[in-house]
Amino acid sequence: MKFSKLSQLFLVSIIGLVVASLLTACQIVTIDYLFVASSTGIATFDVDSESGAIRTGQPTVPAGGTNPVAMAVSSDYANLYVANEGSNSVVHFSIAGNGVLTNKDNVTTATPPVALTVNTATSYLYVVSGTNSATLTAYSLSSGAIGSAASTVPLTLGSVSASFAGDTLVPTGVNVLANGGGVFVTAYDQSAYNPGGSVSSTANPGWIFGFTVGSGGALTPAAGSPWKAGIKPTAIASDPTDRFVYVTDFASNEMIGYGVQSGDVLDFMVNGPFKTGNEPSAIAIDPRGLYIYVANSLDSSVSSYVISLSTGTPSAAVNTTGSSINATDTQPDAILVEPALGRFVYTANHLGNSVSGFLLNSTTGTIKGTLSAPYPTGDAPTALASVPHGNHSTQSVTP
C-alpha cells in the first residue's frame, strides 16, 4: 500500500510525538541523592522528584574500610561519615553537587564503631563503639575533616548500682538533639539479656544514656542518666523541636517515648510504650516533625505513626487498606525520609539486597509503595543517607 507524501509526513510526525512522549516519561528529575552502604561499598542513587523511584547514579565507591554499618550526613549536606565495623574506622567523604563522593580523611577507633551522628553546627561527630563494651567519643570537626577526640566517655551501669559496674554493655545507637545540647546513646546489658546463653546480672537489660555538651565538647552525664529503655533498644531518634525522643525495643516489639526536660533529662511518656511490628530495627522522623516510621526486621514491614504535637504520643497512621503495615523486601535494617521534599521513605533490606521505597502522604502520614520497588543494591545493605540535589529546599516546620 502506497502513502501520499502528506500521509507520510503526518505518520512521521505522529511517531516523533510518541517517541518524545516516551522519552519524557522515562526522564528522572533528581530531587535527592540516596547513599546505600553495603558489603560492596557506598552506592549512589538518584531519586525522582515525582515518583520517588530511584536509579543508579554515580559509580559505587569503596567504604574506606570493611563492613560499613552506619552513615551520617552533615547538616550542610557537604559531608558523609561512614562507620566501618570490620576495620575499626570512621571515614569522611566530601559530597559534590553532582553526588560524587571523595574519600578525604579517617580516624581509627579503639573498638568497632556501631553508630554515629553529627550535630547541626557541624562542629562534632559523635561515635559510639564497642561490641562487648560501650564508649561514646566526640570528635571535633573542621570544614568537615575529622579532628582529635574532644571527649571520650565509657558507658557503664556503675551509677545505677556498684554490682552492675562490670556488666557487658553493647551499644546500638546514638542521637544528638537539633540544638546540639544533648546527646543520647542506646545500649543493652548482655550480662542481663543473652538469649541462648547464660546471664550473670539482675540489671534491667535496656538503657539510654544522656549527656549534656559543654565547653570544648565536654560530655557530662545528665541528671538521672541512664534511664531504662525496655529490653533490647535498637535505634533512637528525636524530633526537630528537641521535645521528644523515641527508642525502638527489638525484643519487646515496642517503641518507647520520652519527653525532653530541662538539662536534657528524659521522662517516660505515661501512655507508652507503643506497639510496633516484630523486631523493630530502625526509626526515622520526617523533617517536618509530624510522623514516625519504624522498620520491622522480622515482619519485613514499615509501621507509620502520627505524632501528637502537644504530648508527643505516636498513634498508628492507618492506610486506606485499613492496615498500618507496609511491606518491604526481606529484613529492613535502616530507614530514612528524604530531606528535599519529605515525600519519600526508604528502607535498606539486608537479606533482600535491595531498597524499598514509599510515597509519604504529607497530610495523613500514610505511605504506599513507589514505582518498581524494591530496587536492587549491593549485597547485604546496612545503612542509608540522603542529601538534596541542587537548590531544593529542605522541609521543616515548627509544630
Domain for residue 22, yes or no? no
Domain that holds residue 68: 29-388
Domain for residue 91, yes or no? yes
Residues of the chain with pLDDT > 90, as a percent, come to: 87
Q: How far apart are CA 52 and CA 341, in angstroms?
A: 10
Q: Which residues contact 15 (CB under 8 A, 6 or more apart)?
A: none
C-alpha cell at 321: 487498606
> pLDDT for 71-129, tens place per residue?
999 999 999 999 999 999 999 999 999 999 999 999 999 999 999 999 999 999 999 99
12's enclosing H/E stretch is helix 5-26
Q: What value does the mean pLDDT take over residues 129-148?
A: 97
Domain for residue 20, yes or no? no
> pLDDT for 13-33, tens place per residue?
444 333 334 334 456 689 999
Banded model confidence at residue 315, pLDDT cuts 50, 70, 90 = very high
HEC sequence for 166-217:
CCCEEEEEEEECCCCCEEEEEEEECCCCCCCCCCCCCCCCEEEEEEEECHHH
Domain for residue 9, yes or no? no
- Residue 266 · residue 245 · CB < 8 Å: yes
Question: What is the secondary structure of 63-99 as a DSSP string?
Answer: -SSSSEEEEEE-TTS-EEEEEEGGGTEEEEEEE-TTS
Can you give the pLDDT at residue 318? 82
pTM of the model: 0.91
Provide the 10 A C-beta neighbour count for residue 194: 16
Q: What value does the mean pLDDT take over residues 344-360?
A: 98
Q: How far apart are CA 354 and CA 366, in angstroms?
A: 22
Average pLDDT, the chain: 91
Which of 3-12, 91-100, 134-143, 239-248 is least confident? 3-12
pLDDT at 202 over 50: yes
pLDDT at 253 over 50: yes
Domain count, the chain: 1
Can you give the pLDDT at residue 8? 44
Can you give the pLDDT at residue 391? 58
CATH number at residue 306: 2.130.10.10
Domain for residue 16, yes or no? no
pLDDT at 153 over 70: yes
Q: Is 20 left (phi over 0), alpha (psi -120 to 50) or beta?
A: alpha
Residue 181 burial class via C-beta count within 10 angstroms: exposed 0-12, middle 13-18, buried 19 and up:
middle
Domain for residue 17, yes or no? no
Can you give the pLDDT at residue 289? 95
pLDDT at 358 over 60: yes
Q: How far apart are CA 113 and CA 148, in angstroms?
A: 16
pLDDT at 323 over 80: no
Q: How far apart are CA 67 and CA 245, in angstroms?
A: 28
> pLDDT for 214-231, tens place per residue?
999 999 999 999 999 999
Domain for residue 224, yes or no? yes
Q: What angle do CA 81, 82, 87 make, to 5 degrees?
A: 140
- Residue 145 · residue 92 · CB < 8 Å: yes
Domain for residue 6, yes or no? no
Can you give the pLDDT at residue 101? 98
